[in-house]
Structure 1
Amino acid sequence: MTLITIINIDELYWMHGMGRGRKLESLNDFERALKNKYGIGQGLDYKPWLRVQDVKSKGTRSLIYGRKSQREHHMMSSIESELFYLAEFSNGVTDVREQFPILPLNYTQKIAKTLGIAHPKHPQTKEPIIMTTDQLLTIDSFQGTAYHAISVKPENDSKDLRVLEKIDIERVCWELLGVKFSYFTGNDVTRIQSSNLHWATSPFRENPISFSCDQINSALSIMTARQYFLEDLCNQLISMNITSHDDALLLIRFLIADKFIDVDLSTNISESGLVDVKHVADSAGGILYGAS
């Protein structure tokens, strides 16, 4: 599975005086944004260069509260949300910074000129704009911390020459900085995987419910690596007084979300009513989970 693309600025219609939208038309606007720390920071402190209220896109915009970052992430399309759920769930990914600006402006301008590609401009003022990368991942491993810049576009857009030109500017900018760059288009499998992760993790984001160590360990003790009907598994949890009727399915979702059980994500769990368990953790480790 390939992760990470650049926002196609020409397909965004800038909002003026609408809600809390910001004006990003000139160098003065860019300097003001930087002064206000947009596009700066990491984790909880990061503020994306573009927010959903700043632009109107063709895609389905959404705010997703990050379990790792503990802040709202601004997604400009459904495919960006798809990638976010996959990236955030990855063990090595410690941070996802969306709508990340490639600075300074003259850096992207020089790269564009070298490539012989017109630099993106504001649709009304025709002034050069700050280019952004859809998602910049921070990845921690035994080798240390690394970054992965990802441009996100539907596969159909890969036939658009202008889209490809701007992705090329973005790619060269990141590669010259020593940062891995990828182009994420998504497919049927990643859509199902992301949908499952959305289903499993959504109750445990901004105001998560807690389960006790005893509840988790008891649930894990009755599970093995095999396929279950969700209804049967819920009834077993209820009959053994591990959890209430109302919270039985929620506990299963929690076990998936916090990786106490490893499940096959390639089949839609909520629609099929089946969960294929591949691995079960030994225990919860004697602590409370679920609370932030």
Structure 2
Amino acid sequence: MAKRKLKWNEDKRQDFIEQGRGNGIGADYKPWLNIQDFPSMGRVSRVFGWKTKRIHHLFTDIQTRYFYLLEWEDSVLDIREHFPLLDIDEVIKEKDGLDFALFTDRESKTPYVISTTFLITVKDKSGIGYIARSIKAAAELEKKSSLEKAEIERRYWEAKEIDWGIVTQKDIPVTIAKNIEWIHSSLYDYKERGFSEEDIIFMSSNLMDLIYKRNQTIKDIITAFERDCNYEAGTGLYVFKYLIASKQIRIDMEKEIDINNLVISPSEGKDFRKVGGVIAAN
């Protein structure tokens, strides 16, 4: 367990509950843990979510990259990170072989609240359902505490009849995740750039027309777009990112996006291809 900024005890646990942590859906959900709870977590991320319209708290690069894959997947409706298993005692009937003492504060003797990295709401042909995913570095799976926690989570979600699995860095297509990260912020920050919704719609339409009409690299097209329309440098690249993020044009997300060499034909751009299978787990 990572060292907490404040000592863990029953009062702290009750404080988290009173704050509403672990409750809500969509924009109203509050994760059980956030980055302010820890003195240092290395490369943490706070990302505004497409699906939820709220800030997500992510503690590792692996969590962040998997989050981007979930954002890109059309079947995903909601993403709840660090979801607490508050009713674990009632849900897990078969406790034989589980060592809950590993997850108890040594000083206060208060049990830590075990959480699953992501509880994901998905929609498919059969309707709306849920899947749970624990994100781990592969090396963590060699540790007794990690394996014990995984078994507790497995039994919990099995009792809930919710599909659960572990995802490591080996399961994540890094190029796709990095491409999504590259375009991710463009979808909703146009107002911060001084554009209205009408502006971004107008610019997107104009740039898309140029992309379909000209058999040129994206770099050449956005250069002409900025020059002919008298836009500031960087505007064309931003609008191009927006077109990808809003899925108005298609590119191969399995390849690194290189605007210096990327050429998009009309048939490619209008027939967007989803990247499937990103919510699979071992």
Q: Does the residue aligned with 1:67 lie in a helix, a strand or coil?
A: coil
Which among 92, 99, 116 is matched to residue 117 of structure 1? 99
Aligned residue number for residue 220 of structure 1: 208
Which piece of structure 1 moves more, 163-172 or 218-227?
A: 218-227
Q: Distance in 2 between matches of 1:14 and 1:186?
A: 25
Q: Structure 1 pair 150/57, CA: closer, same or farther in 2 (3 Å)? A: farther
Stretches of structure 1 that go unaligned for 5 or more consecutive residues are 1-9, 17-22, 283-292
1:201 matched residue in structure 2: 184
Is 1:25 paired with 2:9?
yes
Range with greater deviation from structure 2 (229-238 or 152-161): 229-238
Instruction: Specify the alignment match of 2:270 in structure 1.
Output: 281
Aligned length: 263
State the identity as a percent. Answer: 26
SS in 1 for 2:149: helix
Q: Residue in 2 aligned with 1:35?
A: 18
How far apart are residue 34 of structure 1 and its match? 1.8
Q: Greater strand share, 1 or 2?
A: 1
Match of 1:286 in 2: none
Greater RCO (CA < 8 Å, at least 6 residues apart): 1
- One-letter amino acid of the counterpart of residue 104, structure 1: D
Q: Does 1:166 align with 2:149?
A: yes
Residue number among 152, 169, 176 corresponding to 2:159 in the alignment: 176
Secondary structure of the structure 1 residue equivalent to 2:105: coil
Distance 1:177 1:59, change over 3 A: farther
Structure-1 residue corresponding to 2:257: 269
The worse-fitting range, judged by mean Cα deviation, of 241-250 and 132-141 is: 241-250
Which amino acid is 1:133 matched to? T
Partner of 1:88: 71
Scaled by the length of structure 2, the TM-score of the pair is: 0.81
- Superposed counterparts of 1:130-149, under 5 Å: 130-149=113-132
Is there any run of 5+ residues in structure 2 with no aligned partner, and where? 272-282
- The one of 7, 12, 36 equivalent to 1:53 is 36
AA in 1 matched with 2:24 = G
Task: Indicate if the aligned counterparts of 1:99 and 1:135 stay in contact, CA closer than 8 A.
Answer: yes
Change (3 A) 1:232 1:83: same
CA deviations on 1:150-194 (whole Å, 9 max, x unpaired) are: 100112222223212211110121121011112111249622211
Equivalent runs, 1:252-263 vs 2, <5 Å? 252-263=240-251
Distance in 1 (alpha carbons) for counterparts of 2:253 and 2:216 = 14
Post-superposition CA distance 1:180-234 (Å, at most 9, x none): 1121112496222111111101233456554443432333233359996442231
Q: Does 1:98 align with 2:81?
A: yes
- Shifted more, 154-163 versus 142-151: the winner is 154-163
Distance 2:65 2:35 in 1: 16
Contact 1:66–1:73 under 8 Å retained in 2:
yes
* Partner secondary structure for residue 263 of structure 1: coil
C-alpha contact (below 8 Å) 1:227/1:275 kept by paired residues: no
For 1:279, give the aligned amino acid. Answer: E
Rate the CA distance shift 1:261–1:187 in 2: closer, same or farther, 3 A. Answer: farther
Paired letter, 1:117: D
Counterpart code for 1:138: T
Whichever residue aligns with residue 263 of structure 1, its letter is I
SS at match of 1:14: coil
Counterpart-to-counterpart distance in 2, 1:107 and 1:87: 30
**SS of match in other structure, 2:64:** helix
Alignment match, 2:275: none
Give the drift of 1:246: 3.1
Q: Which amino acid aligns with 1:268?
A: E
Bigger drift between 245-254 and 53-62 goes to: 53-62
1:118–1:33 CA distance, 2 compared to 1 (3 A)? closer
2:175 is matched with which residue?
192
| 1:241 Cα deviation after fit | 3.5
1:149/1:174 contact within 8 Å kept: yes
